[in-house]
Each structure stands twice: as C-alpha cells, then as structure tokens.
Structure 1
C-alpha cells in the first residue's frame, strides 16, 4: 500500500473504534506471535518498525548474535477482533534486512503460490475445523463439559449440540459476520467434539482464517470457563481432530475449477479432470513426506490408527492411497468430484507449511503427469496385508520419528522450503520425538513397576 492508502486505512480503523494493531506471524508450529502498536503507528509497522529477536522463537533459524527480524502486516487482510473491537489483527510476514524471510512459513506458501501462478493456476483450499470443547478438572484431566454427552456414537447428536449451543452460536455468528460463509456445523464423532465448515478460499486466505479460528475458539471457550483444543488426540478412546485439506486448482484468468468435470466424462467416474488426477498422483508420490507437515506432533500418530483403543473404526487415514467417497483412503474425492481431500491433516497442522508442501507435490504431479492408478473403493482397514501389497498401497508413517525421516529423505521438501527451513523443521521435530521417547509415562510405571 502507498502511504496515502495506509493513512486511509488508519482513518477507517479509527472510525470503527480501533485503538491498537496486532501484527501476527506464526512460528514453525503455526502458533501466532507478534507485537501490538497503537493505531497512530500503523504506518511505522507497515514499513517494518517492529523488530524481533529470532533466537527467542521456535524455527526461525537464528542465533543470539544474529540481526533482528522484522514483521510486516498484510494490510489487505485485517480482522477487527469481535470480542475486543479496540484491536485489529493483521496476518504478517517476517522480513530480514528488507527482504522476505525464507524461514517464515507464510512466506514459503506465498512463494509456492507464485510458482503455481507461473503455470496459470490459483490454489483453492478449504479446511474442515474439528475441535474439542472441554473442561479441565482440578487434577488436570480433560472431560466433556456436559454429563450426558456419553453416547458410544455421538456423531450428529442434537441433544449434546444444544447443550453447548451458547458457544456454538457465538462461534457461528462470528464466522458469518467475518464473511467466511459458514455452511455447516455439527457435533462430531467424539464426545465433546464439534466441526465448523466454512467456504473455501484462496489458500493464503484460508490459512489466515484457520489461524484466527483457533485463537477465536479458545477465547470464546475461556469466556464459558472451558477450553477449546484442536489437539489431534486428547482421548485414547475417542476419534481425534482432523483438519482435512480440500484442494483444487483454478484458472487464474477465468476462475474456472480445473479439477471439475462431469463424472460421465471421467473414465474413472469420480468427476475429476486429468489435471486433478495428476495432482493426486503428486500428493501420493510425496505422501509419506507430507505426513510430517500434515500431522506434525507425537500426538498426531495416536490419531492415525485404524481403531486403537476405540469401540469403532477411527476414520483416520493410515494408508497412502486414494479413492472416491471412501474415508479409509488418505486422499478422498468427495461425491460430485471437482476437488480432492487430504485426510492426513490434523488440528496441530501449521496450515501455511502444509499448504505450501501439498501444492508443490500436486504441481509436481501435474508437471510429470503422475497417474495415481485406479481408485480404491474397498474398506482398506479390513483388507489383508497381501492384497494391499499387491495393489501397491503403502502405510503412512506410524510415528513422528518415521514421518520426519520420510520428510528428510524427499528432495521436494528442500526444493520448496529451502535447506534452512527444512533443517529447522527436522531439528525441532526430532527433538520433540526424542523428548517424548525419553519421558517415562504413568502407563509404563503402572505396567512395569510391579512386574520386574
């Protein structure tokens, strides 16, 4: 923006009652960080006045002796905080000495979107936000806030939905007021779990919205004396929080969906163009490496199981495969086609990082015309190992350690993120695995202390 346009924005915000501007970028985990400036200093912030010691933050690749980073707000994408109208939130990027900082994951996504644009593509993304609304007990346990949310199969349960209506209504009203076009929300498959689905947008916009959604959900839950969490697997005996990525490419000139066709014109019958299938081919080629970004925590891999400690199947993907409206695949083509859904992504995902890598993988599939093969329509959870092997269906990583190894081994990751950001992710996630592995749990003490 020009100085005149920034001044016009400042005047607009002042008229709306804004007193402070919050410039929020994310660390490598997708957690927002930033500073707040009084509204009269908006122009200063827009020109990079806010400086940060990168060594104090996770994944920004700095040592104590390095020059500071700056944060530059995206002035076209601000949101006035619905719960505190005195504050305007701006998604932001890091810069270093006046240039975009490559270790910022939002910058990485913008770089990959520019690569797609060179091919004439826009990248549309919709993320399904699953979230638990819970109460923390005095001894630190998590429990559902309503005593009657106890069904073995609580999915779509209207009684428990209405028991939590005040929080749900506030969330829904705000999402619509923000212009995100909420089209569905419900009680999900686990006790205390809900899902919000709002319309897809360009990938950068959607990632900004998911980041803001998390902050908003936690704020509104705190107002109810509760906590909201997108942690992938808070309970061993309940399904976990997904954040399914629904993806398609558009023609930059016309806006047309380049994945959509009449199912009758698709030999595989799913309603996808060859471009769409090639995109899926790229996702599957790099599927094991992508898993580290889609499911980036130790806890993530307690969600990615067929059943585990639950009474029913988990719905979570464990195979690097695709099919139609079959939720035992990691990539699903929903009824009607026109998009593909990666079901690996969970609530801990850094959406910018995962979107950058997913787009790059899909573009690799298109450039190299990678055929994903025939869609899998069977229940893969119950298929024999021999039959899966005959079809060439591989398992996704089953631990964070395995996922990080696949991430490190795939050359595409370094091509997309650069060596420094790639190595930062590997270092932090390897340390997370090591710390977890060296922790002695209550389960181990209970199981082994009396045996040996």
Structure 2
C-alpha cells in the first residue's frame, strides 16, 4: 500500500476531514485548496493545480499558460491541534514537471541542498515577536488593557504575563502538542507584545513551522476578540517586532555544530567567522528580504518617538553580545543571530538568503574583522567612522538597490523570481512614497 493510502487511513481514524497542501505567496502567507481526506492519494500525485499568476508576487503565468501542480511533502503533514478536522502539509509547486522557480519553499530547498553538497546541515532557531491587540472606539488597545500602566515598558513583567495567559497558555499548549519544545515565553517591551522561545531544528522544518505559528497565533487571538499582528512597527511610540534568525551549521555526517571551536570552550570556529563575514558582505540584499516592507525600516532607530531605547540593530557589523548590530554571536550558544530580521519576513526566502550569504563567506574565506562590543547608540560620529562604513539601508528602496545588483540574491532567487521580487517591492515602495501621511498634513497644511 502506498504512503498516501496508509496516511489517508490514519488520518480518517484520527477524525481528520480535510487536508490543505499549502505553499506561500511572496509575503509568506499560505495558500491552498481544501481537499477532502479521501482524495489525499490523488493530491499526493499532484492533482491540485494552481494559477499562481493571480497571486501576490509569484510570477506572471498568464491565463493561457500551464498551471502549477502542488506536490505535498507527506512526511511533514501536521494535524492542527486547535482543530483536528484539518491537516496541513507543505507543498512544492512544479511547472511542466520541474520545481517552480518562483515558489518560496523551492528557493529554500535549493539552498538546503547547496549546504548539504558542501557537507553541512543548516539549523535555525527563531524568536518571533508580535502584538496582540483589539480595535476599540479609542483605537487599537493591547490584549491586557493594564499594559499601559507600567511605563515606559512592560518587558518581562510577571503580572502582565499572567494576565495574558488566556492567549499565551493555548499557544504554548498547541506548540508543545506539535513537539516544538517551548522553553520560555514572555511579555515583551511593547504594550500587548509577546515572544516565544522554542527548540531549533533544521532550516526547512523551521521555516515550515513559522507558517503554522502565524496561523496559530492569529487563531488564538481571535478567540480573545483580538488580532495578532506581525507588522514590524505597528506603533511609532512603541517597540518594533523582530524575528531574530539564529543560524548555525552542523557537520552532515556527525551532526556536530561546526560553529563551535571544538575545544570545549565558548569560542567560535574560524568557519563561523567566514559565515558571518558572508552575511555582512551581502547585508543590504539580505535586508531587502528579511525586512521586506516599507514599515520594516521604522524599527532601525536607537529611540525615535519612544521613551526607551529601541534595542534594535542599527549598524552593519558584528559583536559578541552586542544587540545594536545586525549580527550577534551569542556567548551562551554557538550560532549567528541575525537581528535585523523582522516579524513580516517570508521565512523560506529570508533563511535562504542568510544561508546562501554565509556559505558564500565560507567559500571565499571572508574575514569579518574584529567584533564591536560597544554600545553604538552612544558613539560619536567620529568614533563610528573609525570602524569604516557601518551603514545599513535606511529604507526599502535602499535595500532593493543592493538586492538588485547582488550576485548571491540573483543565485538564490533565480533570474525570474529575482525580477519579480524586485519589481513587486519597488512598486510597494513607490506607492508608499506617494502617500500623504497625517504627520505631513499636521505639519505643513497651515504652516505654509
């Protein structure tokens, strides 16, 4: 009996009625047809066809062209713990029998395969931050109204975390039911902002999990009469939401972390230095993908309108425990923490870019230089200048300029998807530049 037939029978026994074979659009938003569980065997053969040219940023396949067939990865099927009538399975799109280039998951698969060809497994941990808010007559209010009492921040606040248990508790239960290994969660600095920390895993599995995580958070928030928003900077006077990508390489044969020096100390290996150098060499192009919206760049300030420092990365550099920089090499674990990644990231594309850039650094034996272990928020311009050009793109447009000419970005995306991504995001940036904001009206309408 085929795998699909066995799986179908198992799912029927568990009470599953429908299966979604999902893929994502350019934003990382999952798309799928809903298939009755009895039709799983035909679905496994690619029976479900998609006119992806009608979706966001997935190429321009016209109505006269062939459709993409979804081929599900049945080994990765998940039954939703909050609604076991449904099972979700990640799917790879194929066009004319070949993996479709403009499918985000195919992009990451290619880079995972490239890492394996070089002798490595890429492992990833994510620290997702997001807000849970409800719309009221007075505007958007946090999940727990009392969050606004403890100014300037409720970060790590014990009482605020307990009061948010109606949301936090079910999310933790669902994550652990899926075997994700939650080891901590907390109220972050923003009013109604939360973060979850759970076990790392291989890159493709983690990207797949984060698609489910967003669905999960949104579902539980709705049960509280709220929404979970993954907008990077929803409020100008509050903290932004990051999604730090913690990445390391393990030896393909032994499984040992090759970022560790291997001498039993906290020291990092020379290979890890090459990896971080590669990420820094392609930082602008990476940020065009892991900071994918015009709103993303509102995070990159030391303070802005806030009463407290932002704790956001503002410079293209690395440090050992320095949270003001794009790249942090933590002293308590052997990995590279890419701190510019935000909550709007398409995880399949973002992880693929970081991994490819790091592998390029290893291939070219790049040197990241010495770490910067100072608070760069407080450095005078002349002190910063002594480290060279540490500027990160200050807008989506600037990041796209680097993405446009970056060889690694072109290789990761492929020529067609690279052009699609660039054109789509350029249009987004153009639309934003054309908007007249409330600030402009308040400031200029009667002044001039």
Q: TM-score range by the shorter chain?
A: over 0.9
Query: In the TM superposition, what is the alpha-carbon distance from 1:176 to its structure 2 partner?
Result: 0.7
Query: In the TM superposition, what is the alpha-carbon distance from 1:306 to its structure 2 partner?
Result: 1.5
Task: Determine helix, strand or coil for the equivalent of 1:388.
Answer: helix
| 1:35 lines up with 2:30 in the alignment | no
Task: Determine helix, strand or coil for the equivalent of 1:92.
Answer: strand
Task: Determine helix, strand or coil for the equivalent of 1:213.
Answer: helix
Task: Determine helix, strand or coil for the equivalent of 1:395.
Answer: coil
In structure 2, the residue matched to 1:93 is: 92
Task: Determine helix, strand or coil for the equivalent of 1:394.
Answer: coil
Take 2:372 and 2:136, find their aligned partners in 1: how far apart are those partners? 44
Counterpart contact for 1:241–1:346, Cα < 8 Å:
yes
Alignment of 1:391-402 (within 5 A): 391-402=387-398
Take 1:42 and 1:297, find their aligned partners in 2: how far apart are those partners? 36
Counterpart contact for 1:271–1:336, Cα < 8 Å:
no
1:386-445 Cα shifts (integer Å, max 9, x gaps):
222221242111111111111112111111211111111111110111111111112211
Take 1:153 and 1:391, find their aligned partners in 2: how far apart are those partners? 32
1:207-263 Cα shifts (integer Å, max 9, x gaps):
011110001100110011011112100110111110000010001111110101368
In structure 1, the residue matched to 2:207 is: 207
1:261-319 Cα shifts (integer Å, max 9, x gaps):
36886xxxx62101111100100010111111110001101112111111121111111
Counterpart contact for 1:290–1:357, Cα < 8 Å:
yes
Counterpart contact for 2:130–2:195, Cα < 8 Å:
yes
Counterpart contact for 1:271–1:337, Cα < 8 Å:
no
1:113-148 Cα shifts (integer Å, max 9, x gaps):
111111110000001011111111247x32213221
Task: Determine helix, strand or coil for the equivalent of 1:307.
Answer: coil
| 1:12 lines up with 2:10 in the alignment | yes
Q: In the superposition, relative to structure 1, how do residues 160 and 337 fare at CA in structure 2: closer, same or farther (>3 Å)?
A: closer
- Greater shift in the superposed pair: 380-389 or 247-256: 380-389
- Greater shift in the superposed pair: 256-265 or 123-132: 256-265
In structure 1, the residue matched to 2:174 is: 174
Corresponding pairs, count: 445
| 1:191 lines up with 2:223 in the alignment | no
Task: Determine helix, strand or coil for the equivalent of 1:431.
Answer: helix
* Structure 2, unpaired ranges of 5+: none
Query: In the TM superposition, what is the alpha-carbon distance from 1:153 to its structure 2 partner?
Result: 2.1
Take 1:163 and 1:145, find their aligned partners in 2: how far apart are those partners? 9
In structure 2, the residue matched to 1:390 is: 386
| Pick aligned residue for 2:424 from 387, 403, 428 | 428
Take 1:370 and 1:256, find their aligned partners in 2: how far apart are those partners? 22
Task: Determine helix, strand or coil for the equivalent of 2:185.
Answer: strand
Take 2:263 and 2:426, find their aligned partners in 1: how far apart are those partners? 44
In structure 1, the residue matched to 2:123 is: 124
Take 1:199 and 1:46, find their aligned partners in 2: how far apart are those partners? 30
Take 2:321 and 2:389, find their aligned partners in 1: how far apart are those partners? 18
1:182-217 Cα shifts (integer Å, max 9, x gaps):
011001111111100111000000001111000110
Take 1:442 and 1:96, find their aligned partners in 2: how far apart are those partners? 45
* Structure 1, unpaired ranges of 5+: none
Task: Determine helix, strand or coil for the equivalent of 2:123.
Answer: strand
In structure 2, the residue matched to 1:80 is: 79
Take 1:271 and 1:188, find their aligned partners in 2: how far apart are those partners? 30
| 1:142 lines up with 2:140 in the alignment | yes
Query: In the TM superposition, what is the alpha-carbon distance from 1:337 to its structure 2 partner?
Result: 4.1
Alignment of 1:271-290 (within 5 A): 271-290=267-286
In structure 2, the residue matched to 1:416 is: 412
Task: Determine helix, strand or coil for the equivalent of 1:170.
Answer: helix
Query: In the TM superposition, what is the alpha-carbon distance from 1:65 to its structure 2 partner?
Result: 2.6
1:140-192 Cα shifts (integer Å, max 9, x gaps):
x3221322112212110011111111110000111111000001100111111
Please tell me the root mean square deviation across aligned C-alpha atoms, in Å: 1.3
Take 2:359 and 2:389, find their aligned partners in 1: how far apart are those partners? 22
Counterpart contact for 1:242–1:345, Cα < 8 Å:
yes
- Greater shift in the superposed pair: 425-434 or 61-70: 61-70
Counterpart contact for 1:263–1:336, Cα < 8 Å:
no
Task: Determine helix, strand or coil for the equivalent of 1:136.
Answer: strand
Take 1:93 and 1:264, find their aligned partners in 2: how far apart are those partners? 40
Counterpart contact for 2:82–2:174, Cα < 8 Å:
no
Take 1:201 and 1:11, find their aligned partners in 2: how far apart are those partners? 29
In structure 2, the residue matched to 1:407 is: 403
Counterpart contact for 2:393–2:399, Cα < 8 Å:
yes
Normalising by structure 1, what TM-score?
0.96
Give structure 1 regions of 4+ aligned residues with deviation exceeding 4 angstroms: 262-265
Take 2:391 and 2:164, find their aligned partners in 1: how far apart are those partners? 38
In structure 2, the residue matched to 1:241 is: 241
Task: Determine helix, strand or coil for the equivalent of 1:21.
Answer: strand
In structure 2, the residue matched to 1:26 is: 24
Counterpart contact for 2:261–2:270, Cα < 8 Å:
no
Task: Determine helix, strand or coil for the equivalent of 2:307.
Answer: coil
Task: Determine helix, strand or coil for the equivalent of 1:94.
Answer: strand
| 1:354 lines up with 2:350 in the alignment | yes
Normalising by structure 2, what TM-score?
0.97
